[in-house]
Structure 1
Amino acid sequence: MHTLKRTFDSLSVRNFRLFFLGQLLSVTCTWMMVIAQDWLVLELSGNSGTALGVVTALQFTPVLLLTLYGGRLADRHSKRRILVLANLASGVLALVLGLWVLLGEVRLGHIWLFAFALGVVNSVEAPTRIAFVGEMVGSELLPNASALSGAYFNAARVAGPAAAGLLIARLGVGPVILINACSYLGAVAGLALMRPAELHGPPSRPANPRIADGIRYVTRRPDLVLPLALIGVLGLAGFNFQLTLPLLAKTEFHTGSAAFGVLSSSLAAGSLLAAFATSSRRARPTTAVVTGSALAFGATETLTGLAPTLPTACLLLTLTGFAMMYFAQAANHRIQLGSDPAYRGRVMALYMLIFQGTTPLGALLTGWLAEHWGPRWSLTTGGLISLTATALTLTTTPRTRTPHP
């Protein structure tokens, strides 16, 4: 009973409880819209994978270009106010697209424009949201709140696509997108009902925070550079399951979309378990925790590439998902809890940039390996690169005392 209470400790904080409920609703509906949008793109383009790739690129490019600026805004202004405006903007964009679909006048170019605009909003919203978690609960409960945030994200990643499949069949694409538009009101309501006096904001905000100062701050902190470097390498080489799993199901196990769903669910289930496992953390994780979980991820992904049967692959993917989320949470907590609150927005923006910036390059590498050697080699190579990079950090990192943030 005590363990269960510690798992949900941060939900006893009213502000975080409002945030959690609003985000759970909004993120679930966002995953519904992702499925609906992809389905719509395939319908309009004649099942063109290139058109689908353009949508992803347009939504992703602003995040690469503007995330550091988003972190600067988070350090300069009220994070709660920024999040309210960002959620309202996302809701309006989804409303316009949904109405366009219902009117039967939507074209591929409209979806591309929507994807780009949403990417601009996300470039500000994502680093602000991550940095705001600490302001809601304080440093002691930050690891727990961060773990629960990972839990709601993974729960939404499972529930959203499942609900979307049913609703698209019954209602169509347009209504699903409109449901997502309405869901942002839940997130806005949660933010609006918070008590500002109970937030743990920095004592003062810099009048003109510079991106360069944030980068300089990180480079002077080896304890922050190491997890950021590992995030970059593992994100580049190992976190490309959206490409490898459908290929594994279709070309290696010769099964259909149902098996792909089982593989994806196995990975998500492991991630969800890890999110709950890390919820009892109260102190800043050590370097050993970060590197140990990175080694575990590399080992389990390597073994997944060697899995002889579908059930074995599902079991190993559950372990891989667990190690992946455990590492991501450990790196996140080490970076956040080690950062000065005055720099936290810019530091977490750099974290987001490295985490997401490696995705397109990693996709190219994974796609090339899968095409020439098969998806098993993609998984195994990604795991071996992750193992090698982590082992190198263990041999090259000097054992110096961590500076106080």
Structure 2
Amino acid sequence: MVTAEGATAETPVSAWAPLRIAVYRNLWLALLAANIGTWMQTVGAQWLLINEPRASTLVALVQTASLLPVLLLALPAGALADTFDRRHLLISVQLFLVAVAATLTLLTATGRMPPALLLTLTFAFGVGQALTLPAWAAVIPELVPREQLRSASALGSISVNVARAVGPAVAGVLIARLGVAPVFGLNAVAFLVFAFALVRWRPGNARAVEVPERFTAALRAGGRYVRHSPIVRRLLRRALVFVIPASALWALLPLVASRRLGMNSSGYGLLLAALGAGAIGGGLLLPWIRTRMSANQFLLVAGALYGTALLVVASVRVVPVVLVALLPAGLAWVTVLANINAEIQLYLPGWVRARGLAVYQVVQGGGQAVGAFAWGVVADAAGLVSAFVAAGALMLLGAVTSQIWPLPDLRGVNRDPATYWPRLDLAHEPDPRVGPVLVVLTYTVRPEREREFLDAMDLVRGSRQRTGAMRWGLFREGEARDRFVEVYLVPSWDEHLRQHGGRLTGADQAAEERARDLADGETEVRHLLPAAAGPAMSDDREAP
């Protein structure tokens, strides 16, 4: 792990600090209303299926249908959010969700809601969520100062978990007295509130992209960044190890309420409220926890708490005991995922933030979707108790692996944008679409510095590949023992200009300056462009 010298200790920031910013506060409250509506809709959909044949699988499929679109669409949604106006995108998506919720309300009220159609419309909700999540997550760093990002992430989790506490409770009462249709109707109103708040928001310094990236190029660039970022991959792996066993509780809790505890819809809402209350407490305690435990220590503790809760739910039929066990499970859920989400937000540079966060949503949402389906199948085949015991054991095992695959320490890593490459001075100005472009750099390195230079160039390789290089190589000149040649291939001249003009960070600059300091004299740089006629490169197939 490379860290900047002179890193300072982290100063705790109040969990409530971002709410002092009026714009963030208004949007957070509106999003809270939308989250409450979403959980009301989830409870209503699950309760419509509770008496159907093979209810275990169908109820779990509600989670799968709502989360699977995140797996399928999050990266395209992230590319859209990094390429176009995020506010307009968010408004359009919320209006789409209003239309879906209104359709669901009308069909349910008229008794025309078979399970297949219900799951289809739930999938449509998931599509809207998949388009919303990366755009909203990428907007947050534009609304709050960098030092408040972890608090803002915790507040986002508090919003979700207040919704888990309030939404199911309200839905349970409404279903018991009025039926499911009014629950779906209130969900439509909630999305309308969020859309209205977004319409009222007028960004003071609108994000400007001089020449928007082409959609397919933006998709490839986002995937390339994550693929060549070991830190992001480590964070994603930790999220997945936690989410898969944790999803059993969210997916199968309705069956625990009805079959093991003999509770109705209001009772199910009470169980979700306990989980939500624990999660709210976790969000409020997160700043305090971070000052007293390392990230990997609380990964271990949180995994142990959640795994124990799963085992208690599997073995106990006493409602108060189950309610008490759900409190630390909610706390563990929010402390793990809010912290990982904040670390990814802090690490990702602005140009690729929505796409990187979209990949995180793929891992979190996709892990929940796949996990929910898998645990539903296990429950149908082996019973609820066996499913919870297996999930609890897997969670405890995953907690232990936090000591093998620890979270990276990002304190002191410079993620500020850096424009340090010299202005390009070419004999002619290429068309931005021309490509591929081969960049060649030649270094002169003394033999005694060779080992250090090769280590430094390994960090440079990661920087090149994250910011645009499709291929990279480092070669030694056969004619000169002390000369090394770095070559990397960029898809287009436009991609290389973006490397020069905004994709690099202070950490990239430090890595490249270290390599150049180990070389003698000026580094020679050349840009090789395709010739005007014929392909830039060819293979060994016979020419026509």
> Structure 1 residues 345-354 or 19-28, which shifts more?
19-28
Residue 225 of structure 1 is aligned with which of 233, 245, 250?
233
Secondary structure, counterpart of 1:256 in structure 2: coil
The structure with the greater share of residues assigned to strand is 2
Cα 1:317–1:327 shift into 2, 3 Å: same
Assess if the C-alpha contact under 8 Å between 2:299 and 2:402 holds in 1: yes
Counterparts of 1:214 and 1:337 in 2: how far apart (Å)? 16
Counterparts of 2:53 and 2:308 in 1: how far apart (Å)? 37
Assess if the C-alpha contact under 8 Å between 1:75 and 1:205 holds in 2: no
User: Hey, what does 2:336 align to over in structure 1?
Assistant: 327
User: Hey, what does 1:382 align to over in structure 2?
Assistant: 394
> Structure 1 residues 15-24 or 315-324, which shifts more?
315-324
- One-letter code of the match for 2:363? I
Written as runs of structure 1 = structure 2, the 5 A alignment for 1:69-108 is: 69-108=76-115
Give the TM-score taking structure 1 as reference length.
Answer: 0.84
1:136 lines up with 2:143 in the alignment:
yes
Cα 1:95–1:279 shift into 2, 3 Å: farther
User: Hey, what does 1:174 align to over in structure 2?
Assistant: 181
User: Hey, what does 1:338 align to over in structure 2?
Assistant: 347
RMSD: 3.3
User: Hey, what does 2:450 align to over in structure 1?
Assistant: none
Q: CA deviation at 1:245?
A: 4.4
Counterparts of 1:399 and 1:30 in 2: how far apart (Å)? 34
1:114-138 deviation digits (Å, cap 9, x = unpaired):
2232222222112212222222223
**Structure 1 runs not aligned, ≥5 long:** none
1:332-391 deviation digits (Å, cap 9, x = unpaired):
111101110110000000000011112243235545665267255224312222123312
Counterparts of 1:225 and 1:59 in 2: how far apart (Å)? 25
1:393 lines up with 2:402 in the alignment:
no
Assess if the C-alpha contact under 8 Å between 1:271 and 1:318 holds in 2: yes
- One-letter code of the match for 1:15? V
User: Hey, what does 2:432 align to over in structure 1?
Assistant: none
- One-letter code of the match for 1:114? L
Residue 300 of structure 2 is aligned with which of 295, 309, 324?
295
Cα 1:274–1:69 shift into 2, 3 Å: same
Cα 1:99–1:116 shift into 2, 3 Å: same
Counterparts of 1:90 and 1:124 in 2: how far apart (Å)? 11
- One-letter code of the match for 2:279? S
Give the TM-score taking structure 2 as reference length.
Answer: 0.64
- Number of aligned residue pairs: give it: 393
Counterparts of 2:410 and 2:40 in 1: how far apart (Å)? 46
The structure with the greater share of residues assigned to helix is 1
Counterparts of 1:151 and 1:399 in 2: how far apart (Å)? 24
Cα 1:236–1:204 shift into 2, 3 Å: farther
1:304 lines up with 2:313 in the alignment:
no
1:25-69 deviation digits (Å, cap 9, x = unpaired):
1211221222222333457x5684444455444433332211110
Counterparts of 1:383 and 1:275 in 2: how far apart (Å)? 21
Written as runs of structure 1 = structure 2, the 5 A alignment for 1:248-259 is: 255-257=261-263
User: Hey, what does 1:164 align to over in structure 2?
Assistant: 171
Assess if the C-alpha contact under 8 Å between 1:134 and 1:142 holds in 2: yes
User: Hey, what does 1:215 align to over in structure 2?
Assistant: 223
Counterparts of 1:169 and 1:27 in 2: how far apart (Å)? 21
- One-letter code of the match for 1:82? L
Residue 6 of structure 1 is aligned with which of 14, 24, 28?
14
Counterparts of 1:28 and 1:127 in 2: how far apart (Å)? 19
Counterparts of 1:71 and 1:35 in 2: how far apart (Å)? 28
1:249-292 deviation digits (Å, cap 9, x = unpaired):
677xx5322776555433322211111123679xxx89x84322
Q: CA deviation at 1:180?
A: 1.5
Cα 1:41–1:305 shift into 2, 3 Å: closer
User: Hey, what does 2:67 align to over in structure 1?
Assistant: 60
Secondary structure, counterpart of 2:349 in structure 1: coil
User: Hey, what does 1:352 align to over in structure 2?
Assistant: 361
Secondary structure, counterpart of 2:350 in structure 1: coil
Assess if the C-alpha contact under 8 Å between 1:76 and 1:205 holds in 2: no
